[in-house]
Amino acid sequence: MAAVFLILMTVLSFANLIKIETENGLLKLAGFVVVIGVVAFFLTRKTNDSKDEGLNIKTCPGQLKNKKVIILMLIPVIFDILTIYIDKAFFPEVTEHMLARLPFEIDPSKIIPILIELLFVPLGEEIALRAFYQKQSAKRIGFVPAILITSFIFAMGHFSYDNPVVVVLDLAGVFIDSIFFGLIFKETDNAWCSWISHSLADIAAVIVILFFV
């Protein structure tokens, strides 16, 4: 069953390449990758050695005492902040593209709803991409290919049409972030830990854009 979900998620990750016009703009089908991944995780978790494998909130506090985990968690936060300043200074088109592809408007008056979204959406992404896709892929093809493919799929989920150079630079940042989220998951076997890093990175980026650049 897991293999079927892996194939389906892989195929759907390219769905944003297909232009489907709606009244609200282009329909982004790649978002279904997360939905399918979350469903797949809970349907297949009973086949794991432990029902908590990949998602165990009880072990998270102890894992956060690991210095290696903390360093890995902070790298995407620092990387995203630096990337915003570098893009703003040298590649403003990348910043504009990134803001345009976001599913919400960066508005100080909407900071609370934005923060709530930046807490819940990354959790779904981490369960789908790390606890299911990366973990199940690693069992079949090994860790290194699994984390690279998972990160590629994660990046493709953020694809939006624009100047090819701008798109590549934008997705490269997403890919690098995903590598570190994957390393956190590999170190902890816990999507709660990679979720903390993911949400912190997203929230830090939004706060910097709103108030500092």
Where are the domains positioned within the chain? 2-211
Quote the CA–CA distance of 202 and 144 in Å, as a whole number: 25
Q: 97-114: per-residue pLDDT in tens?
A: 999 988 888 888 888 999
* Segment among 10-19, 123-132, 165-174 with least mean pLDDT: 10-19
pLDDT of residue 106: 87
Specify the 3-state DSSP secondary structure of 54. Answer: strand
Is the pTM for the entire model greater than 0.75?
yes
Q: 47-66: per-residue pLDDT in tens?
A: 766 666 899 999 999 999 99
pLDDT of residue 64: 95
Using an 8 Å Cβ cutoff, are 196 and 73 in contact? yes
**DSSP letters for 12-50:** HTTGGGS--EETTEE--GGGHHHHHHHHHHHHHGGGSSS
